[in-house]
Amino acid sequence: MMSTSMRRRATTTAVTLAVTGALGLGLTAPVASAASNGPCYDGRCKITVSAPKTIKVNSRKFGFGKLKITHVSSRTVKMSATSGGVHLSGSTSPGGTVQLNNLKVWVKSVSGRKAKLQLFPTSR
C-alpha cells in the first residue's frame, strides 16, 4: 500500500515529466522543420553554391518556394524564382545584391564556378 507522500511524489513526478515533454517538443519542432526544409528556408543563411542549384525557401514568406541559381561565373551570378505564373530573375557581380520580393541575396564572392551567398529577408 502506498503512503500519501509517495502518491504525491509520484503525481508530482508525472506532472513534471508531462510538462517537460510538452515544452521540449515545442522547442524542438521548429528546428526539425527547418532541418527538413533546408538551411535557407527562413531566408537567413550563408551557402556556397555552383550552378545549377535550387534553394528551398518559405513560399508564404517570400512569394516563391524555390530560388534557382542558374549561372555562376567570375563576373556574374544569375538567379530566378517562379510562382503562380510570375517569373522573377536577377543577376549581379560578386559583391552585389539581388532582391526578389522581400528576399535579398548577397553574392559575397565567387571562386571558380562556386559562389558564396548570404540570404536575408528584408523588412516590410
Give the pLDDT band (50/70/90) at residue 2.
Answer: low
Domain residue spans in the chain?
1-37, 45-121
CA dihedral (68, 72, 78, 80) in degrees, to 10, reads -10
Return phi, psi of residue 48, to 5°.
Answer: -105, 130
Per residue in 26-36, pLDDT (tens digit) is 333 444 445 57
CA distances from 80 to 87, 93, 95, 98 (A): 7, 15, 18, 10
The per-residue pLDDT for 10 is 47
Q: What's the pLDDT score for residue 6? A: 52
pLDDT value of residue 84: 86
Q: What are phi and psi of 86, to 5 degrees?
A: -100, 130
**pLDDT at residue 104 in the model:** 98
